[in-house]
Amino acid sequence: MPQRERRLSGLYSLATAALRRLEPELAHELTLRGLEMGFGPTAPPPPASLASTAFGLQFPSPIGLAAGFDKDARVPDAMLRTGFGFVEVGTVTPKPQSGNQRPRLFRLPEDRAVINRMGFNGAGLFAARSRLGSRSRKGIVAANVGPNKDAADPIADFVAGIVALAPLADFLVLNVSSPNTPGLRGLQQRSRIDELLQRAVAARDAASPTTPLVLKVAPDLDEYDLTPIVESAISRGIAGLIVGNTSIGLREELRSPNRHQPGGLSGAPLLGLSTRLLAIAHRLAAGRLVLIGCGGVSSGADAYAKIRAGAHLVELYTAMVYAGPELVPQIHIDLAALLARDGFKSVADAVGTGT
Ligand SMILES: Cc1cc2nc3c(=O)[nH]c(=O)nc-3n(C[C@H](O)[C@H](O)[C@H](O)COP(=O)(O)O)c2cc1C
């Protein structure tokens, strides 16, 4: 590594360590402000073997930033520069809302995990649309949409999100899996999912027919729950599935004092649960959906495990809180080495080979 880059990388490590001493939400806001001011690092391009195609789009790397870090689309381009192959902004709700009472974001350092019950705090569709509308659209940015807490018809809120953001996003994510909006996860039920997807696809067809729609599900589902979701997604023309969001379970495996905070658990303890459900999705979808593996990824080996379980693309968030911005370039190096070790020429060659 050249001397200037080594010095900068040392500075970012120091900054990450300093931020971790602050109250988590304050640290997050300061990070976003720093990125808005141009203080983010610029990663080297990923190894060529990581180039991937999905949804008809060319991804420089399959490793993306998961939703929740940049809820209001303030810094997608700065995050692309840190090395991510794509960035998902949101969840964006139609109206601005303040979310749950603070504190609502908790670090669990002993478990390399986080619990959050943010409750879709955000500036709303109008703000996200104007920010996304003013970018130059270099690099792949997805938008994740969801309903306001007080929505009388939550599906109508999804439709509003699709109409506003589909023309400005490379793909659109329907979030039916946050545990922090009462009733939201109920939309995953057999009796409700098909109506959501039917109305979502109709809205997308009217607003921006070429924008792929992706559904983000909870990692706490089992095969019985997932089967009708996969069937409905395929028959309605949904392009992909993100498996998955944060978990409401797994608390007995944790050691940190914050382990009993209500909310969604993310980070290392989620890897096994979410990867097992991903493998089930891979079997059920049988090549008919693009699968995005998300949950507990903190290394090249974890990303490789998701790909071998059936993921075409991989997302992470929590590991970055602990490892800082050097994480993604390191994952790139390690993932490329693992592919080469096993004789795979590309990510696509390795998808689903571990199941
Ligand atoms: C603080 C925080 C906020 C989040 N907010 C959202 C959100 O608004 N929408 C969403 O779909 N997922 C949200 N997530 C879930 C992540 O996108 C991801 O699915 C989950 O954290 C698992 O990945 P990880 O273990 O790599 O963090 C949030 C996660 C965290 C930690």
pLDDT at 127 exceeding the cut of 70: yes
| Structure confidence by residue, pLDDT tens digits, 276-330 | 999 999 999 999 999 999 999 999 999 999 999 999 999 999 999 999 889 999 9
pLDDT digits (tens, 9 = 90+) for 31-47: 999 999 998 899 999 99
Q: Using CA positions, which residue lies closest to atom 13 of ligand 1?
A: 68
The domain segmentation of the chain, as residue ranges, is 43-350
Helix (H), strand (E), coil (C) string for the chain: CCHHHHHHHHHHHHHHHHHCCCCHHHHHHHHHHHHHCCCCCCCCCCCHHHCEEECCEEECCCEEECCCCCCCCCCHHHHHHCCCCEEEEEEECCCCECCCCCCCEEEEHHHCEEEECCCCCECHHHHHHHHHHCCCCCCEEEEEECCCCCCCCHHHHHHHHHHHHHHHCCEEEEECCCCCCCCHHHHHCHHHHHHHHHHHHHHHHHHCCCCCEEEEECCCCCHHHHHHHHHHHHHHCCCEEEECCCECCCHHHCCCHHHHCCCEEEEHHHHHHHHHHHHHHHHHHCCCCEEEEECCCCCHHHHHHHHHHCCCEEEECHHHHHHCCCHHHHHHHHHHHHHHHCCCCCHHHHCCCCC
Protein residue closest via CA to atom 23 of ligand 1: 295
* pLDDT at 9 exceeding the cut of 70: no
Per-residue confidence (pLDDT) for residue 20, from 0 to 100: 83
Residue 1 has pLDDT above 60, yes or no: no
CB of 274 sitting under 6 A from ligand 1: no
Considering only residues 183 and 54, tell me which one the structure prediction assigns the higher pLDDT: 54
pTM (global) more than 0.95: yes
Query: Please, which pLDDT band fits residue 188 given cuts at 50, 70 and 90?
Result: confident
Over the stretch 150-160, which tens digit does the pLDDT of each residue have? Answer: 999 999 999 99
Q: Ligand 1, residues 317, 320, 321, 327: which to mutate, most atoms within 8 A of Cβ?
A: 317
Determine if ligand 1 sits within 6 Å of the CB of residue 275.
Answer: no
In CATH, 43-350 is 3.20.20.70 = yes
178 as an active site residue: the answer is yes
Distance of CA 129 from the midpoint of ligand 1 (Å): 21
Question: Whole-number mean pLDDT of the chain?
Answer: 94
Q: Is the pLDDT at 121 greater than 70, yes or no?
A: yes
Q: What is the mean pLDDT of residues 169-181?
A: 94
User: What pLDDT, on the 0 to 100 scale, is given for residue 3?
Assistant: 64
Q: Which band of pLDDT confidence, cut at 50, 70 and 90, is reported for residue 7?
A: low
Q: What is the pLDDT of residue 6?
A: 61
Per-residue pLDDT reduced to its tens digit, 208-233: 999 999 999 999 999 999 999 999 99
Does 129 have pLDDT greater than 90? yes
